[in-house]
Amino acid sequence: MVLDMIDGISSLRVYIPSDLTTQDRRQTVHNTLSEVEERFVNGKEGGIPLLDPLDDLGIEDKTFSVVLRKAETLEAKLKKDQFLEINKQDLKTYEERAKCDEEIKDLKRRIRQTEDVILKDEMGYYTKFLKKLGYLSKDDIVEVKGRFSTEINAANEILATELVFCGFFNKLNHFGVAAILSCLVFQEKADGSGTSDIPAELVEPYKEMIIMAKKIAEVKRQCKLISDVDKEVASIQPHLIHVVYAWAQGASFASISGMVNVFEGTLIRTFKQLEELLRQLESGAKRIGNQELMLTFRQASAALKRDIVFAASLYL
């Protein structure tokens, strides 16, 4: 007999003959067990009495006595616990739920491991991309381009940096600089406006920006960072070039609001983000020691920062 088959040890002792081969002896044992059941289980005795370690076995250890009473107290509390009344179906449902929870934890762990692998691969691709463009050396040392790009977070820092280092802004006045950079911060659709509204003197700079964006996107594709070059280039929106150009040269907010089909709040938000980008570019130019470019960005920022767009409050 294994220990799991024993539910408890009783103080009652039933004598069972060593030989139970005859029908009479088996019937005698049956009658005896039936009498015990009738008296102690179905009767008024309250159940078959269990063997008491203190009274029946004579154990006098005080520590054992304390531990035994605590165990009896806990058993009494457990019998009153509502969870003991849960039926088998509820218990089965709980076990299934617990199994599902474990499976969810295991899946989440696998997802984290997969994400770590993906991020590690992406980091390798991006490092390769930065090395190809000259932001990192072969020994992973940050180059001048890399230091410049760290100053920018208001727009596409790679495209802005490439435009600076190829001399793109050197042939533009500060009005044109502010206008052409609006392509990097405005990311919404604007009905009724497009490349046809771009001022004549900014058409070629816009085309040059698109060419540069395509070159960068192609390098990204080669480094497995993107799959669609055209989709990457499509994020450059020309819809506000003429609007910003007019504003920088002193046009009123009422007049520029009618030049494009976007909400006034969108215009104000775009102008503020553009001014932040210009300040960051000024900081980058200062970092690389280009005083002339730093002045251009500062003037472009000053041309934007006026009137109701940059008012501290609309309640004047």
Using the predicted structure, report yes or no on whether residue 312 has a pLDDT greater than 80: no
Q: How far apart are CA 157 and CA 147, in angstroms?
A: 11
Q: How far apart are CA 252 and CA 271, in angstroms?
A: 14
> pLDDT per residue over 71-89, tens digit each?
878 877 776 665 556 667 7
pLDDT at 294: 95
Among 199, 203, 314, which residue's Cα sits nearest to residue 251? 199
Q: How far apart are CA 304 and CA 176, in angstroms?
A: 12
The lowest-confidence range among 62-71, 73-82, 253-262, 281-290 is: 73-82
CA separation (Å) from 165 to 68, 115, 161, 184, 213? Answer: 84, 35, 6, 17, 14
Bridge partner list, 191: 261
User: Do residues 47 and 10 lie in contact, with contact meaning Cβ atoms separated by under 8 Å?
Assistant: no
Please name the amino acid found at residue 20: L
Residue 288 half-sphere exposure toward CB, CA atoms < 13 A? 21
> pLDDT per residue over 293-309, tens digit each?
999 999 999 999 988 88
- Lookup result for tokens 């019937």: 27
Token pair, residue 303, equals: 């041309």
User: Do residues 165 and 145 lie in contact, with contact meaning Cβ atoms separated by under 8 Å?
Assistant: yes
pLDDT at 146: 92
Q: In degrees, to the nearest 5, what angle opens at C-alpha 125 toward C-alphas 120 and 129?
A: 145
Burial 224-251 (b: 16+ CB within 10 A, else e): eebeebeebbeebbbbbbbbbbbbbeee
pLDDT at 192: 58
> pLDDT per residue over 215-225, tens digit each?
999 999 999 88
Q: How far apart are CA 162 and CA 110, in angstroms?
A: 39
> pLDDT per residue over 192-206, tens digit each?
566 788 999 999 999
pLDDT at 113: 77
Q: End-to-end CA distance of the chain, in Å?
A: 93
Long-range contacts of 81-86 (CB under 8 A, 24+ apart): none
- Percent share of the chain, pLDDT over 90: 46
Length of the chain: 316
Q: How far apart are CA 106 and CA 142, in angstroms?
A: 40
Bridge partner list, 136: 142
Q: How far apart are CA 175 and CA 47, in angstroms?
A: 98
Report the predicted TM-score, pTM, of the whole model to 2 decimal places: 0.62
